Structure 1
Amino acid sequence: MTASTTCRTTAGKSRIVAVGAIAVASTLLLTGCGDQTNANQGGSDVQNAPLADKLPKSVKDAGVVKVGSDIAYPPVEYKDKAGKVVGIDLDVAKALGKQLGVEFTFENGTFDTLLGGLRSKRYNIAMSAMTDTKDRQNGIDPEKGTKVGQGVDFVDYFNAGVSIYTKKGATQGIKTWSDLCGKKVVVQRGTVSHDLAKAESKKCTADGKGKLSIEAFDNDQQAQTRLRSGGADAGSSDFPVAAFAVKTSGGGKDFELVGEQVEAAPYGIAVPKNNPELRDAIKAALDAIIKNGEYDKIISKWGVAEGAVTEARINGGK
């Protein structure tokens, strides 16, 4: 992965079953390069923040944690109909900011460039429904098995699997990944769904079951549009995102989930390995909001209680 140097003005990524009301206000700040959103609407309060002293001095002095995120992945992070950036990650970041006394400012970028953005120090962290995997921890390209960077540490804050969905009433008997042989699937580039599709494609070819065609997009919403128009047989994304699309797209008339979710794994907040102090501060803040009940309120508000964690973990992915 490489860092994105192109200014962006639009959202870039779209990522249980019951999804709650969408009602989180967030201030949108348009800057010279990309969309930025301040997750702490009321501003930071270092003096009264209980965990401020755990932050690295550079971050504490700046008063800001710069977050790389692909803001088109409802219900995790996305723009609502009014153009406000909302979602699970925005709410969690705001709660963390209260504990640490700093503002979490989200900057929009395509998902497959976020880790590169960390390496180039464009962001302090990446928070974007990113699955914690050993390959990402170690900086390994999962397809080639080659080293592509230093890797990152993750502070795990949610659990989610991967789902397949089709046009409503057009499942074509699809229930498992092996049922996609001979068909076409749409995914977001660089995601676990993309990795699973590529792995299944090799199996389909080896077993002589017919080629699995894969069309990958910069964001999940583009993939959904392709499927909606009849350009593919199925789509795949993280379960909360797929469930949200099924519930909301076309008033619930466009898509349906098929089969069971697979590859359940934690979402992690990615932190550069050379910044363990920031990693540990975020972990402490997450443990604090879990303990005081604010975390559960956020997760329940968005209707994703099945994915809640009971404690913060570092590098819990496999």
Structure 2
Amino acid sequence: MPSSHEVEAPNDVCCRRPNGTAVGFPTTPPEDTTMTAGNTRRTTALRSRTAAVGAIAVAGALLLTGCGDQTKDNGSGSDSETTKANSAPLADKLPADIRNKGVVKVGSDIAYAPVEFKDDSGKVVGIDPDLAEALGKQLGVKFEFQNATFDTLIGGLASKRYDIAMSAMTDTKDRQEGVDADTGKKVGEGVDFVDYFTAGVSLYTNKGYDQGIKTWDDLCGKTMAVQRNTFSHDLAKDQAKKCKKDGEKALKIEDFATNPEAETRMRSKGADVVSADFPIAAYSVKNAGGGKYFEIVGDQVEAGPYGIAVSKDNTELRDAVQAAVQAIIDNGEYKKIVDKWGVADGAVTEAKINGGS
């Protein structure tokens, strides 16, 4: 399969800048974007953005950008940090070491607008950063986002690079149990999730060039560009097997490190269709090229919960995060954020632990 390095992005296409922003995307939330949550249930038991757990668990190298580790761990916080923690309603729920440092390190793939991405100044913005800021007020700490590729995030938790992973990551049984989704074999300890949002998966094409694609069964004989190790990638592989089994033309899959790179491939006519989580697809359709580049085809499928991932040996932090998510749901701050980004249809009312299946 071609790698992302083999694709040359035309000057006018939507692609990732070196700082991680997407060309043609505004860096403020859309005023009138409404992302509906209607979905079609598929037979597979997986959920969106599901990476191959085996690859994640054994990932030896974390591809971090300049965002890096911005904290200095001296074992104690400043006076201002201590005051902030003491005044926060849920500060006493945090593990003592994190409370003293005043920082929660967040692993995230910061190229997934509008969930998390960088604005023109390089600042991390989006749904997750806004929610994390609200959680920080409840817990009396700062949530610091550190950029990495999506398929290294769970490995980063295992190696203690991050305290949590917050990156449009779907809560699934495979991830909870440390099972490789492709082989069904146990490959790691797994992680716990605090669920905070719901999203499905969508197909989208170049505008005015849908080639009759309305459902996944229309993909036989087509070329799909997709971010690797996501649930969209898993669905594409499942569909390719189905095309072959049914005697249809082959579905060709090209996978890339980021979703903007997959979109670039489609813009250059190297691929016919892209699949991504519905909020990301809807945001791209509305904003890329001023809304002139892409269109969604068909309904979203397999709606499932996004979860904040925490190592299984850090139940105190998991429970603190759950309490903070529930607090911002209850006090209305959560609603303000999802309304701001036009994703209210994906809102949840309860911060469940390991609610995915």
- TM-score normalised by the chain length of structure 1: 0.88
Residue 277 (structure 2) pairs with residue 238 (structure 1): yes
Q: Secondary structure at the match of 2:87?
A: coil
**Which residue number corresponds to residue 258 of structure 2?**
219
> Retained in 2: the 8 A contact 1:13–1:110?
no
**Which residue number corresponds to residue 5 of structure 2?**
none
Q: Kindly tell me the number of residue pairs found equivalent between the two proteins.
A: 293
**Which residue number corresponds to residue 124 of structure 2?**
85
Tell me which amino acid in the other structure corresponds to 2:30.
G
The runs of at least 4 consecutive aligned structure 1 residues that moved more than 4 Å come to none
Tell me which amino acid in the other structure corresponds to 1:35.
C
> Retained in 2: the 8 A contact 1:12–1:70?
no
Q: How does 1:66-77 map to 2 (within 5 A)?
A: 66-77=105-116
**Which residue number corresponds to residue 20 of structure 1?**
30
Q: CA deviation at 1:12?
A: 9.5
Q: Secondary structure at the match of 2:86?
A: coil
Q: CA deviation at 1:84?
A: 2.1
Residue 63 (structure 2) pairs with residue 35 (structure 1): no
In 1: Cα distance, 2:65 partner to 2:235 partner: 33
Structure 1 runs not aligned, ≥5 long = 1-8, 23-31
**Which residue number corresponds to residue 132 of structure 1?**
171
Residue 342 (structure 2) pairs with residue 303 (structure 1): yes
Q: Secondary structure at the match of 1:313?
A: coil
In 2: Cα distance, 1:127 partner to 1:312 partner: 14
User: Percent identity, aligned pairs only?
Assistant: 65
Tell me which amino acid in the other structure corresponds to 1:20.
P
> RMSD of aligned C-alpha atoms?
2.0
Q: Secondary structure at the match of 1:311?
A: coil
Are residues 33 and 167 of structure 1, via their aligned partners in 2, closer, same or farther at CA, if it must alter by over 3 Å?
Answer: closer
**Which residue number corresponds to residue 201 of structure 2?**
162
Residue 321 (structure 2) pairs with residue 282 (structure 1): yes
Residue 187 (structure 2) pairs with residue 148 (structure 1): yes
In 2: Cα distance, 1:231 partner to 1:145 partner: 33
Structure 2 runs not aligned, ≥5 long = 1-17, 24-28, 33-63, 71-79
In 2: Cα distance, 1:155 partner to 1:47 partner: 24
**Which residue number corresponds to residue 120 of structure 1?**
159
**Which residue number corresponds to residue 60 of structure 1?**
99
1:53-88 deviations in Å (ceiling 9; x for gaps) = 101112111211100000010000001233321100
Are residues 128 and 67 of structure 1, via their aligned partners in 2, closer, same or farther at CA, if it must alter by over 3 Å?
Answer: same
> Retained in 2: the 8 A contact 1:13–1:73?
no
Tell me which amino acid in the other structure corresponds to 1:277.
E
Which stretch of structure 1 is more off in the superposition, 57-66 or 236-245?
Answer: 57-66
Determine which structure has the larger strand proportion and give its number: 1
**Whose RCO is larger (CA < 8 A, sep 6+)?**
2
1:104-127 deviations in Å (ceiling 9; x for gaps) = 010000001101111111001000
**Which residue number corresponds to residue 109 of structure 1?**
148
In 2: Cα distance, 1:301 partner to 1:20 partner: 8
In 1: Cα distance, 2:187 partner to 2:112 partner: 25
